[in-house]
Each structure stands twice: as structure tokens, then as C-alpha cells.
């Protein structure tokens, strides 16, 4: 079994970007990070994004609206960032408070600054195999992990567990694309799927993104499969100082015993999400300010 080290691969991506940004004369790329409220997980994620941006030489612009902000007030912030020539990319951290319609916010982002790739135009470009747009960061990170781990999806059966806008749908589209490293035969499973284990056992590459801790067990996995665990779940653990531990959607102890390659949680897909956000930001900068 080979462990796919997301920390190592993400560090390589970050190092490449740092070297590239160092060659840019004048203004550096700028990423606006909008975090609504004080959700502890969001605070942690945005801090990590800010720190990585700083390491690369990307300017991080933090915008911290209160948790009770109205839809129209948040939209006004987005409009101002869209109009700001000094901002290349905008990320609005999800989840947002319940009074906010997230989809409307994603759609309001200018497509050429939508570095999280969740707007209609950028998702449509993925469906059209058009690489001028921005691919959602977690799916892009998964494809990068597979590529840098020597996994070519051509002729492989890829099973995606989950159909979310954030991961399931875009990663299925990416795996389907007619391009090097992709060309997979893709099945998407979800809560309405019957006989789920019989389908997951057919997977040469299994991508689990359903947000249910330790859901995928060894009896659901074909021996020798490549397993990508996108889940990051907090489960109670009285032996830890924090009172919880992080686990994925895959039961790592049993599945790792039969998988050919597998990502750990933490240290697998998570670091790649941040690295690909930075890659998208540099791409946005270059598209807006050709060197």
C-alpha cells in the first residue's frame, strides 16, 4: 500500500508558485478572503489560506463581515471586490450563515475572479473541457494528487461517492474529460443509490466525498483500488486534548490494508485544496495582467 502524501505534493505546488510569483515585476497577485462570522472550522481554514498566500508572495486581503450580515450587504461587498482592479481572486468561505443564499453569492462573483470555481460559467467550462476557467479547488486537488501519484484514469472505472457542487459533480466531470490523465469511466453514487457496495467494489479509483465518518469499509472496496478520501469529520475522542479527532469518510485501518494507494485524513486532499486555490489565484492574475 502506498500512502498518497497530500502535504508533500501540496508543498511542491506551493514551491513552484512561490518561484513563479518571485519573477513577477511590480504588483503581486491579490486574493480577497471573505469569511462571514466566526465558525471555528472556517476561521481555521481561512487562516491557513492566508498563511499559504503569504508564503507564496500573494497578497491576502481579509474581509470579515459579521455573522448577521444581510444578503444585500454581502452582495455589495462582492460587487466592490469585483470592481477593484487590485483584486485578482475572490474566495467566499463556505458554509455561510443560514440567512445567506450561497448559490447567489457564488453566481455574483465575477467569473474572472471566481478562483474557487463555483460560479455557473466556470462550472460550465469544466463540462465543456475548456481550461480557460477555474476548476473548483478540491476537485482540482484530487486530479493533481492522482496525476502526481502516477494514476492515469484512462480506461479506469472511477466511482464518486457524493454529488455535491463542491466536490462530487465537478470531480466526476474532470475524470470524464477527454484529456491526458482523465478519460475515466465514471459512476456517481449518492443517498438514492441502491446496492451501493456492489458498485463501489467495481471501482479502480474510489473517491469518497459524502461527509460521513468511516462510512467506506473494506468490504466496499476492490483489493488494489486507489482510494481518495475527501471527508474530514470531527468525531468525539476523550483521549485527545481537544476532545475530538479528525477522520475521513473511509475507515482507514481496514481499507488501507487492501488498497494499492490511499490518501490519509488529515494530510491528504485537504492541503491540496489550499494549494490549488493559490494556483487559481496566480492564473487569474496572469489572465488579468499578462506578464
The catalytic residue positions are 49, 93, 116
Tell me the DSSP string of 178-227. SSTT---EEEEE-TT-SSHHHHHTT-SEEEE-S--TT-B-GGGS-TT-EE
CA separation for the pair 188, 88 (Å, rounded): 34
Dihedral sign computed on CA atoms, order 89, 139, 51, 48: positive
At which residue does the C-alpha cell 469585483 appear? 82
Non-local CB neighbours of 240 within 8 Å, separated by 6+ positions: none
If 0-12 CB within 10 Å is exposed, 13-18 middle and 19+ buried, where does residue 194 land?
exposed
CA separation for the pair 170, 142 (Å, rounded): 11
CA separation for the pair 1, 261 (Å, rounded): 6
3-state secondary structure of 290: coil
Any idea what DSSP says for residue 249? S
* Strand 244-247 to 233-236 pairing: antiparallel
* Helix ranges (DSSP H) in 23-130: 40-56, 71-83, 102-108, 120-127
| Phi/psi of residue 193, nearest 5 degrees | -80, 135
Any idea what DSSP says for residue 155? T
Amino acid at each position: 500500500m502506498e500512502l498518497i502524501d497530500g502535504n508533500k505534493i501540496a508543498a511542491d505546488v506551493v514551491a513552484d508558485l512561490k518561484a513563479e510569483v518571485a519573477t513577477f515585476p511590480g504588483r503581486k497577485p491579490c486574493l480577497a478572503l471573505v469569511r462571514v462570522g466566526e465558525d471555528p472550522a472556517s476561521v481555521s481554514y481561512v487562516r491557513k489560506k492566508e498563511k499559504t498566500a503569504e508564503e507564496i508572495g500573494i497578497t491576502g486581503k481579509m474581509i470579515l463581515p459579521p455573522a448577521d450580515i444581510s444578503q444585500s450587504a454581502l452582495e455589495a461587498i462582492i460587487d466592490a471586490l469585483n470592481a477593484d482592479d487590485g483584486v485578482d481572486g475572490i474566495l467566499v468561505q463556505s458554509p455561510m450563515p443560514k440567512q445567506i443564499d450561497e448559490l447567489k453569492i457564488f453566481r455574483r462573483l465575477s467569473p474572472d475572479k471566481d478562483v474557487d470555481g463555483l460560479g455557473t460559467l466556470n462550472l460550465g467550462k469544466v463540462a465543456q473541457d475548456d481550461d480557460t476557467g477555474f476548476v473548483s479547488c478540491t476537485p482540482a486537488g484530487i486530479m493533481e494528487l492522482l496525476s502526481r501519484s502516477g494514476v492515469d484514469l484512462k480506461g479506469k472505472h472511477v466511482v464518486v461517492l457524493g454529488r455535491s457542487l463542491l466536490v462530487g459533480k465537478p470531480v466526476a466531470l474532470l475524470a470524464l474529460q477527454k484529456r491526458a490523465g482523465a478519460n475515466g469511466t465514471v459512476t456517481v453514487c449518492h443517498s438514492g443509490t441502491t446496492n451501493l457496495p456492489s458498485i463501489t467494489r467495481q471501482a479502480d479509483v474510489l473517491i469518497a466525498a459524502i461527509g460521513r465518518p468511516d462510512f467506506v469499509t473494506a468490504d466496499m472496496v476492490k483489493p488494489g483500488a486507489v482510494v481518495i478520501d475527501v471527508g474530514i469529520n470531527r468525531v468525539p475522542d476523550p483521549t485527545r486534548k481537544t476532545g475530538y479527532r479528525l477522520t475521513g469518510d473511509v475507515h482507514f485501518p481496514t481499507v488501507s490494508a487492501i488498497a494499492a494507494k490511499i490518501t490519509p485524513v488529515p494530510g491528504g486532499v485537504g492541503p491540496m485544496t489550499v494549494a490549488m486555490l493559490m494556483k487559481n489565484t496566480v492564473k487569474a492574475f496572469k489572465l488579468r495582467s499578462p506578464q
